[in-house]
Structure 1
Amino acid sequence: MSRRREPVPFAFVAEADRFRSNVTPPARPRATPSQIAGRTLIGLTIVAGFIGSLMFGMPALDSQSHPTSRTQQSEASDGR
């Protein structure tokens, strides 16, 4: 057993880098069809929310189309 140069307060910390477990973890339970459907619906709802926020948010963030179109419309109506 090799000794470390600096003291380690707990023996298990010094042994932790060499420890390998021989116990396999239990298998994960399979998701039921209702759980899969629920996760799919939640994912689709989140994606639809992102798409909707982009559809409604992009025209509001477009700073060039709104002020110029309003001034052009008012100038066209004043000219007639």
Structure 2
Amino acid sequence: MFSRREPVPFAFLAETDRFRSNVAPPPRPRASRSEIAGRALIGLTIVAGFVGGLLFGMPAMESGPRTTHQVQHSEASDGR
């Protein structure tokens, strides 16, 4: 096949890695109070969901029979 014998100037590619722009991006807009309150409320809801899941899920994860089983007797079954 045909091969190229001319030197190709790849120096411009190496310079692009070191290039730093002197143009700064615009600053991010500050979050309003309602946005901050909304984010905090969403975070608290998620945490409350995890805590509630643990509280309701722990009894279901216990293995074996319950040892605190109490038998109730009615007065009619005493036989007096």
Q: How does the TM-score come out when normalised to structure 2?
A: 0.62
Q: CA deviation at 1:15?
A: 3.4
SS at match of 2:20: coil
Alignment partner, residue 36 of structure 2: 36
Identity of paired residues, percent?
Answer: 65
Measure, in 1, the Cα distance between the counterparts of 2:61 and 2:67.
Answer: 15
Task: Give 1:23 deviation, angstroms.
Answer: 0.9
Deviation readout 1:2-57 (Å, 9 max, x if unpaired): xxxxx8x9x65x43321111111111111111111100100000000000001011
Q: Which residue of 2 aligns with 1:62?
A: 62
CA distance in 2, matches of 1:25, 1:32: 21
Q: How many residues align?
A: 63
Partner Cα distance (1:47, 1:68) in 2: 30
SS of aligned partner of 1:69 = coil
Once superposed, what is the RMSD of the aligned Cα atoms? 2.8
Unaligned stretches of 5+ residues in structure 2: 1-7, 72-80
In the alignment, which residue of structure 1 is the partner of 2:25? Answer: 25
In our comparison, the structure showing a higher alpha carbon Rg is 2
Q: Which runs of 4+ in 1 moved over 3 A?
A: none
CA distance in 2 between counterparts of 1:68 and 1:40 reads 40
**Uncovered stretches (5+) of structure 1, i.e. residues with no partner:** 1-6, 75-80
Q: Partners in 2 of 1:40 and 1:51 — Cα distance?
A: 16
